[in-house]
Amino acid sequence: MRPYVVIAACLLIGASAAGQVCLLNTEAAKLLNRWFAEGSASGNGGDWYDNRDRAHSQLKLADYPQLKAITYTQAQKKQNLDLGLQRGIHRDKVVIGSSSTSAPVTQEGSNGRIYYFGGPPSVDFLYGQYRSNQLYVYPEHHDHDAGHNGSPGYGDLFPMNTPYLVISQGSSFSDKPFISAFAQTLAAFKPEVKSLLVNAGLLMPTLQQVFRRSNKNIRTNDDYLSGKAHPTVFDGRQIDVLKMVGAAHAMGLRDIPPLIQIGVEEENIAVNGRDFFELRGDERLADSPCAIARVFRRHAATMRLLVSAEKSADPFGEPLSYHWKLLRGDPDHVTITTRKNGAVAEIVVRWPEWRPIAAGSSLESNRIDVGVFVDNGRAFSAPGFVSVVGLDSEFRTFDAMGRTAEIDYHARDMRFDLPPTNAVVRWAAFFDVAESSRKEFGRRLLERSLDAAAVATLENTSKRYASIAKRFREVTEGIEKINQNLADAVADAKWQLDHAKGGPAKVNAMKAHKAAVAAQRGKNLDREELEQTLKGVKNESSRLIRDSGLRQKLSSAFRELVGQPDLYLKNREDADRAVGGGFKDALERAIALGFYKIDERLGEDHLELRSVTPGSGDVLSRLTRMEREQLRYLNQMLLADLFPAFILAGSGAQFSDSRVTTPKNWRDVFHYDAKGQLTGWARFHLGRAVEYTAHGHLVLEKDDRGRPLRARAVSSVLDRDGTLTIHPANRSFRYEYRSEVDRVGTPRPELGQ
């Protein structure tokens, strides 16, 4: 798959075959052709196919004689109007289309992701396309792969779910099975049914319903009303074309599914500059009739939406039943309360954490999806979606009352792992460090977490591994030498050939060049033999590490060290002498965000652990989850510095799409009064803590009860490095209080403003 670049090819259009809908040798194709001949199936007359990757992943139109191809003029092609996501609507046409193109995952990403993050064009455009009888398929490319933060994938990066597109799992060519299935399904509808669907703008909602209801893993109504039928991205292996064409052909006029229509009636809108801080915008990502999406930016623990499906309609005016289902997300963090016989639902969502999309799934996301369906007694509608997505760049903890206790807006990549048993270079590096007096502290630290038997295993394995590492170096050096000698010989012979002036010199140069190429072929055999030897050395490494059980012992020891919150402070003097820049950067950040405090009585070099949890007992017992995670990250960086090239520890920030959040580098710790009302927060930023009121104002002065007396408004500004920072604005306020117990107050603009 190429990022918006595909290989140009000729459009292949097969000659029309009279009476034939589909020329594939399948049971579904045979049924379509028979039904069309009988007059009970509409065929593909009037249906169009739009390929938008310049034939890179093109449906073989020769197999669909009645399907017509959308074509583009040379002028349109020069403007790339034929390439990538579709930005226009082909008026008065039934269109199925696809484009196997994508931008890089950490930039705009796949075509579907571009639409879902506001485009242009936006989700509103997709709804118009959907109701204009047009449906497109786009591969997810790398936007929906197991992993986290690029290790190895990024999880589900789509911020919402919609019925307006079909996104295929995989990259180039993963779209083709869907387009083939859709072409055949469109052909299977009865003529009168298809005519009504087209005229009412219901063709693609009905196609989506048939497709989702007919997948191989969907057998019952309960399956259809679950997340199994409505993933963000579809696996082409689940397509059941025979089931799809059968369902479409069996549909009578009164069996046409109703149309879901949803809208937000009421919500507790978060205010930029008070409830969250961004350059611009709010939490609303999309408000369309079949898909609503919000970005959870607020610092409050919950978001509330009152959503109505009352505008949903049946084409024949039949009464409707309503179904609201949690398709994705933690059921303990989402509450759905219906009203008006189910036509309206109050949805309360607690901040969505990163978690598997379903039980047992290796794919994760931080999005919840509520599916909304209506049925007329004979058919369920295609889904509507209410999606709420969290920000992976944030790490939040909550207190015992469920309130937000603190937020780190620059969450770190917490990867920490040891190498596989056959990674000879990394294991050799470990044994070198473990035996090196220069890294004596690292060895001592490790041995404290190993029992006597494990230490003996380490010493014995280290001695035996020395020969493996030596052979590995010798073999790799041999391969490198062969490669270099061959490259030099061929380059020299070519130079001689290029510069020979003719006659015997030219003949000799040609012979020399031919001999050098022949020698290269011969040396390839030597290289292959060495590569086989190298494979054997790696296998020997695996056997030794595996049979000794050393990897498991080390993994337990390192993770025990990582879990010690006071590991650095207990070993500070030794650690400061042994570590490098990665750990020092992490330490500076931990101090800046308030996880450590400097005891000024004893000097700037005296650090103490601190916790936002009040109390006089041992600070280790009062650490919050966020504080423990930050200290765990610090320990990981310490061990990665002590055992370089062996331990892999994530060092960057978690990836979040720049279209919904701007990078920040601060931590907020929230305060509440006795009744649980927010009174403000402390913001740790750039090595100092400042106080904010509950209204988002920077505290300038407090009264004798510790309440804000004067405060200043702030504004969000983008620094040169692309990070958001907060600057005081020109407006200042004086706070007034209703009573002595009032700790929130009312801000009044100061005179002269």
pLDDT of residue 5: 33
pLDDT of residue 278: 94
> Which strands, in side-by-side order, build the sheet including 284-288?
284-288, 291-295, 384-389, 367-375, 321-328
Q: In this model, does residue 202 exceed pLDDT 50?
A: yes
pLDDT of residue 413: 81
Q: Return the minimum-mean-pLDDT range out of 231-235, 465-469, 483-487.
A: 483-487
Does pTM top 0.85 for this prediction? Answer: yes
Q: Return the minimum-mean-pLDDT range out of 406-415, 665-674, 710-719.
A: 406-415
Buried b (16+ CB within 10 A) or exposed e, 73-91: eeeeeeeeebbbbbeebbe
Q: In this model, does residue 461 exceed pLDDT 90?
A: yes
pLDDT of residue 19: 81
Confidence of residue 2 (pLDDT cuts 50, 70, 90): very low
Contact 632, 559 (CB under 8 A): no
Confidence of residue 517 (pLDDT cuts 50, 70, 90): low
CATH 2.60.40 for domain 257-390, yes or no, is: yes
Residue with tokens 């990757």: 53
pLDDT of residue 6: 35
Q: In this model, does residue 584 exceed pLDDT 50?
A: yes
| Maximum C-alpha span of the chain | 108
pLDDT of residue 7: 26
Confidence of residue 18 (pLDDT cuts 50, 70, 90): low
Q: In this model, does residue 575 exceed pLDDT 90?
A: no
Most confident of 276-285, 299-308, 399-408, 521-530: 299-308
pLDDT of residue 687: 78
- Over residues 426-452, the pLDDT tens digits come to 999 888 887 765 468 888 888 889 999
Contact 208, 179 (CB under 8 A): no
Contact 5, 161 (CB under 8 A): no
- Over residues 325-334, the pLDDT tens digits come to 999 999 999 9
Instruction: Return d(Cα 59, Cα 69) in angstroms, integer.
Output: 10
Of all residues in the chain, what percent carry a pLDDT higher than 70?
A: 91
Q: What is the 3-state secondary structure (H, E, C) of 43-97?
A: CCCCEEEEECCCCCCCCCHHHCCCCEECCCCHHHHHCCCCCCCCCCCCCCCEEEE
Q: In this model, does residue 283 exceed pLDDT 70?
A: yes
Helix (H) or strand (E) holding 513: helix 503-548
pLDDT of residue 414: 80
587 SS3 class = helix
User: DSSP labels for 515-576?
Assistant: HHHHHHHHHHHHHHHHHHHHHHHHHHHHHHHHHHTHHHHHHHHHHHHHT-TTHHHHTHHHHH
Q: Return the minimum-mean-pLDDT range out of 51-65, 80-94, 615-629.
A: 615-629
Instruction: Return d(Cα 597, Cα 603) in angstroms, integer.
Output: 11
In the predicted model, what is the mean pLDDT of residues 691-702?
Answer: 97
pLDDT of residue 214: 98
Instruction: Return d(Cα 491, Cα 511) in angstroms, integer.
Output: 14
Looking at every residue in the chain, the average pLDDT score rounds to 90
User: DSSP labels for 267-321?
Assistant: E----BTTTB--SS--SEEEEETTEEEEE---SSSEEEEEEE-TT-B-TT----E
Q: In this model, does residue 197 exceed pLDDT 50?
A: yes
Sign of the CA dihedral running 371, 376, 380, 383? negative
Contact 373, 225 (CB under 8 A): yes
Give, in degrees to the nearest 5, the angle at Cα 89 between 86 and 94.
105
Helix (H) or strand (E) holding 397: strand 395-398
Q: Extract the tokens encoding 570.
A: 């207990």
In the predicted model, what is the mean pLDDT of residues 313-322?
Answer: 97
Q: Return the minimum-mean-pLDDT range out of 589-603, 630-644, 679-693, 719-733.
A: 589-603
Confidence of residue 149 (pLDDT cuts 50, 70, 90): confident
Instruction: Kindly give the pairing relationship between strand 708-718 and strand 724-736.
Output: antiparallel
pLDDT of residue 734: 96
Closest CA to 358 of 237, 212, 240, 229: 229
End-to-end, the C-alpha distance of the chain in Å comes to 58
Confidence of residue 9 (pLDDT cuts 50, 70, 90): very low
- Over residues 339-371, the pLDDT tens digits come to 999 999 999 999 999 999 999 999 999 999 999
Give the HSE-up count for residue 730: Cα atoms under 13 Å, Cβ half-sphere: 3
Q: In this model, does residue 503 exceed pLDDT 50?
A: yes
Q: In this model, does residue 272 exceed pLDDT 70?
A: yes
Taking the domains of the chain in order of start, what are their residue ranges?
1-256, 257-390, 392-411+653-753, 419-642
- Over residues 34-60, the pLDDT tens digits come to 999 999 999 999 999 999 999 999 999
Residue with tokens 């020891």: 557
pLDDT of residue 599: 67
Buried b (16+ CB within 10 A) or exposed e, 539-559: ebbbebbeebebbebbeebbb
Q: Return the minimum-mean-pLDDT range out of 329-343, 505-519, 626-640.
A: 505-519
Instruction: Return d(Cα 622, Cα 629) in angstroms, integer.
Output: 13
pLDDT of residue 436: 67
Q: In this model, does residue 501 exceed pLDDT 50?
A: yes
Q: Return the minimum-mean-pLDDT range out of 10-14, 257-261, 436-440.
A: 10-14
- Over residues 234-252, the pLDDT tens digits come to 999 999 999 999 999 999 9
Sign of the CA dihedral running 347, 353, 358, 363? positive
φ, ψ for residue 597, nearest 5 deg: -130, 150
**Angle, nearest 10°, between helix axes 191-200 and 203-214?**
120
In the predicted model, what is the mean pLDDT of residues 700-725?
Answer: 93
pLDDT of residue 505: 66
> Which strands, in side-by-side order, build the sheet including 263-267?
263-267, 302-308, 344-350, 334-339
Q: What is the 3-state secondary structure (H, E, C) of 400-427?
A: CCCCEEEEECCCECCCEECCCCCCHHHH
Selected residue with higher pLDDT from 753 and 598? 598
In the predicted model, what is the mean pLDDT of residues 67-81?
Answer: 96
Instruction: Return d(Cα 105, Cα 140) in angstroms, integer.
Output: 10
User: DSSP labels for 203-225?
Assistant: HHHHHHHHHHHHSTT--SHHHHT
Alpha-helix residue ranges (DSSP H) falling in 579-674 = 581-592, 625-642
